[in-house]
């Protein structure tokens, strides 16, 4: 009899626990005024106009964007004429590639981030080693695993192509004469290329660098056109205002419960805030390193590289004045940044798997489980803490992520090769 009673009690306890684990949330969610104000800060309605980039005088030039558009899709801007910017940043995939690690002329070490809305960021790359979109656009061109083309050859190609040269001179004026014997030269690359670069006359090196920087500025002018479009997430939030409901703006009970978790118990909004759902800052969240790679130092190295970069805001090829580069000068650079990586946008996140700086997590469910567990970091400490979300709560949070998908607010002209 006692054994039967014990078994019955155990079954009752297990049933109660299972009911708690999977208990649904109410079909409707009531929001306080304070919560509504927080939610409204996440809507694209709150996204300000894109501010000028003082380091790039042609950032909002229509002609520079046209040149950048051509450059973005040009495979000849690679050592083997097979890789364009659009090879990894594919318009049909929200300017990502769907791969764990980028594939240029070789396999890279980092996951390709989306370019959508990226122009609002003050820092670029997962470790923030670039402080402008135009200086970031330069690095893949010379990187051995991406475009793998040397600086001199790149500039010569652009200036020898009649259409590209005409567009360049329309924006920047007459191009410099670069008549000299070297066929390949760069301050980066092979020893032969570095030696050839050192042997170029200083005026020629400066001319090459000037054209090189201007190509980056044109690519940035194009990328400023790539902006996210309104999703059901935005329409729902805007319907909470005094303006009233928006047709088709409703969220399901599962999605609205996920939204409450997002701004509450799951604490997502701590890093994924603002209309682009990123604070554009750097955090160590205990993500394991990519297989066969050492744990990266992240932002700790990134800010040091940014300050040494000849194409940074304070450099000779920037259009900014020193007092316009305060972020570079005063950015945090202490040990708290060891292993920290940039917070990505959540816009279209359900369409841009895999995730993290090395594509280590393949699905949204894996990402949510990672933050739910908050494992110990291999470097420094994990800023995230275990969330202790129930299985049903994790599903609700994942459901919310799908409400962030939407076509881009970009003229289709810019999404196709010219």
Reported as a single tens digit per residue, the pLDDT across 91-108 is 999 999 999 999 999 999
Residue position matching structure tokens 């659009």: 86
Pick among 2.60.40.10, 2.40.50.100, 1.10.760.10, 1.10.1740.10: CATH of 24-50+228-412:
1.10.760.10
Helical pair 253-263 and 33-40, crossing angle rounded to 10 deg? 90
Q: In sequence order, what DSSP letters do the residues of 262-327 get, joined into one string?
A: HHTTT-GGGTS-TTTT----EE---PPPPTTSPPP-BHHHHHHHHHH-TTSTTSTT----GGG-HH
Same fold, 24-50+228-412 and 62-227: yes
Digit-coded pLDDT (tens) for 58-89: 999 999 999 999 999 999 999 999 999 999 99
pLDDT recorded at residue 249: 74
pTM confidence score: 0.92
Q: Which CATH architecture has domain 62-227?
A: Orthogonal Bundle (1.10)
**Distance between CA atoms of residues 173 and 193, nearest Å:** 28
pLDDT recorded at residue 20: 47
Which residues contact residue 184 at a Cβ distance below 8 angstroms, ignoring those fewer than 6 apart?
Answer: 150, 152, 153, 192, 193, 196
Which parts of the chain register pLDDT below 50? 16-17, 20
Helix (H) or strand (E) holding 202: helix 202-223
Q: Where are the domains of the chain?
A: 24-50+228-412, 62-227
Tell me the CB-side half-sphere exposure of residue 403, using CA atoms within 13 A: 26
Task: Name 283's bridge partners.
Answer: 341
pLDDT recorded at residue 177: 87
pLDDT recorded at residue 242: 65
Contact 171, 63 (CB under 8 A): yes
DSSP E strand boundaries for 104-203: none
Three-class DSSP category at 185: coil
Q: 266 phi and psi, to 5 degrees? A: -80, -15
Nearest in space to 158 (alpha carbons), one of 139, 143, 181, 178: 178
């Amino acid at each position: 009899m006692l054994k039967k009673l014990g078994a019955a009690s155990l079954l009752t306890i297990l049933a109660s626990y299972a009911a708690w684990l999977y208990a649904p949330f109410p079909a409707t969610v009531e929001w306080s005024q304070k919560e509504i104000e927080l939610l409204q800060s996440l809507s694209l309605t709150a996204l300000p106009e894109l501010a000028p980039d003082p380091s790039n005088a042609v950032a909002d030039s229509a002609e520079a964007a046209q040149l950048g558009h051509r450059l973005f899709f040009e495979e000849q801007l690679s050592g083997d004429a097979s890789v364009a910017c659009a090879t990894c940043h594919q318009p049909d995939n929200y300017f990502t590639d769907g791969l764990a690690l980028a594939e240029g002329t070789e396999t890279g070490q980092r996951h390709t981030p989306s370019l959508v809305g990226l122009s609002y960021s003050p820092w670029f790359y997962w470790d923030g080693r670039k402080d402008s979109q135009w200086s970031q656009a330069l690095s893949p061109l010379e990187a051995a695993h991406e475009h793998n083309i040397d600086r001199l050859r790149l500039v010569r190609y652009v200036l020898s192509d009649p259409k590209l040269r005409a567009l360049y001179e329309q924006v920047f004026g007459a191009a410099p004469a670069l008549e000299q014997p070297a066929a390949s030269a760069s301050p980066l690359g092979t020893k032969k290329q570095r030696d050839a670069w050192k042997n170029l006359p200083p005026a020629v090196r400066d001319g090459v660098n000037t054209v090189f920087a201007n190509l980056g500025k044109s690519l940035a002018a194009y990328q400023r056109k790539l902006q996210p479009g309104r999703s059901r997430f935005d329409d729902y939030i805007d319907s909470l205002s005094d303006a009233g409901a928006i047709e088709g703006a409703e969220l399901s009970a599962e999605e609205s419960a996920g939204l409450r978790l997002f701004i509450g118990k799951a604490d997502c909004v701590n890093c994924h805030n603002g209309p682009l759902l990123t604070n554009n800052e750097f955090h160590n969240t205990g993500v394991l390193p990519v297989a066969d790679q050492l744990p990266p130092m992240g932002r700790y190295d990134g800010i040091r590289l940014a300050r040494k970069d000849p194409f940074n805001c304070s450099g000779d090829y920037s259009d900014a004045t020193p007092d316009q580069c305060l972020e570079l000068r005063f950015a945090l650079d202490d040990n708290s940044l060891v292993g920290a990586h940039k917070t990505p946008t959540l816009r279209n996140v359900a369409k841009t798997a895999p995730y993290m700086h090395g594509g280590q997590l393949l699905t949204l469910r894996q990402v949510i489980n990672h933050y739910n567990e908050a494992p110990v970091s291999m470097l420094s400490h994990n800023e995230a803490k275990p969330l202790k979300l129930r299985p049903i709560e994790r599903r609700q949070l994942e459901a919310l992520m799908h409400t962030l998908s939407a076509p881009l607010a970009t003229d289709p002209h810019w999404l196709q090769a010219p």
